[in-house]
Amino acid sequence: MAYPSITRGARFMLASLLIALSGTAQAAYPDRAIKLVVPYPPGGSTDIVARAVGQKLSELMSTQVVIENKGGASGMIGAGQVAKSAPDGYTLLMTASGPHSINVSLFKDIAYDPVKDFSPIILTAVNPLLMVVNAEHPATSVSEFIAWAKANKGKVNFCSIGPGTPSHLAGELFQSMAGIEMTHIPYKGSSQAITDMLAGQCSVLFDSALSSGPQVKGGKLRAIGIGSKERVDSWSLIPTISESGLTGYEAYTWTALVAPAATPKPIIDQLNAEAAKVLATPSFMEMIKSQGAVVGGGSPEDLARFTQSEIAKWGKVIRDGNIKPQ
């Protein structure tokens, strides 16, 4: 029996049906587990945010979000891995200020471009740095510290949690804007820096509330300023460094959700919408507040502009201070 040939009209209808079915399949995202890479070891602030976001996204999107910690090279190993992943929405990165706004100016051999190689999704949290001194230090405010530093030229140092970290760059920016001179003393992490702060061997430290906050609340360290644009609820009694005389000074760490470049816009928009719901949940907001941080938000375009401004800001600090990784 001979089968009738498919007419041109029938072929057009069949092609249209296939396209429609293809669009339906794409709209079913996600249909399998999503991997969320954290470019640091477990337990840090970026990891904490990633796990909180991942858990809520799993519930909202009815799919498993698997956290994969890929630490090393100041966050560049994990970020580089995601940059090279398929742009299908199934591999995401919970990035941070280091891998996405500092390293590009600090390292010569960075294997990815934080702007060109990623599709921004949403800013998840901003963690202002506390400016802390020993509880016995004579300065009780930012202005008093600046006056003290000028009167003790050559004797002032600032500790950081490592070369090229936000803690280090915050100190460099502060001394530049304040017109003072401080000697940088890098440590391998917050715990060592805080130990010497408690011993009175460091004049000042710029550090996250997550690590220094307990010592401040315990009365062993004194927070004289915070690097946020406005006062934050969890540290409402601490004035911003900007309002204390260094107008425009801001220093913080931040986390953001991004995907490989060329990830389809409908997927990016869907992830942005779902993540925004996560950020608005009371449990997430309380967790972020407990860290002394501020909940993020905004559109992918907002995050793109924010990232570029951060790269420009810290790139200038790095160049002006001739800062090199150690």
CATH 3.40.190.150 range(s) for the chain read 33-127+253-320
Give the residue-averaged pLDDT of 292-301: 95
pLDDT of 25 above 50 = no
Q: 128-235: what CATH class?
A: alpha beta
110-160 pLDDT tens trace: 999 999 999 999 999 999 999 999 999 999 999 999 999 999 999 999 999
HSE, side-chain direction, 13 A CA sphere, residue 216: 26
Predicted TM-score of the model (pTM): 0.86
What is the dotted CATH code of the domain comprising 33-127+253-320?
3.40.190.150
**If pLDDT is split at 50, 70 and 90, which confidence band does 324 have?**
confident
Give the residue-averaged pLDDT of 245-258: 96
The conformation of residue 99, written as its DSSP 8-state character, comes to I
Give the residue-averaged pLDDT of 228-247: 94
Give the residue-averaged pLDDT of 69-96: 97
Residue type, 263: T
Q: Is the dihedral of CA 46, 119, 323, 149 positive or negative?
A: negative
| DSSP H stretches of helix in the chain | 8-26, 45-61, 76-83, 97, 103-106, 142-151, 166-178, 190-198, 209-217, 265-279, 282-290, 300-320
Q: Got the DSSP string for 164-187?
A: TSHHHHHHHHHHHHHT---EEEE-
pLDDT of 42 above 60 = yes
Which of 77, 127, 120 minimizes the C-alpha distance to 97? 127
Q: Please report the beta strands in 115-162, taking only residues with DSSP state E, as ranges in sequence order.
A: 118-134, 157-160
CATH 3.40.190.10 range(s) for the chain read 128-235
Which of 194, 198, 155, 158 minimizes the C-alpha distance to 174? 158
Q: Give the three-class secondary structure for 141.
A: coil
**If pLDDT is split at 50, 70 and 90, which confidence band does 4 have?**
very low
When computed from its CA atoms, the radius of gyration of the chain, rounded to whole angstroms, is: 24
pLDDT of 234 above 50 = yes
Name residue 35's beta-bridge partners.
Answer: 66, 91
**If pLDDT is split at 50, 70 and 90, which confidence band does 202 have?**
very high
Q: What is the pLDDT of residue 16?
A: 43
Q: What is the pLDDT of residue 44?
A: 85
Q: Which region holds residue 111: left if phi is over 0, alpha if psi is between -120 and 50, else beta? A: alpha
Q: What is the pLDDT of residue 27?
A: 55
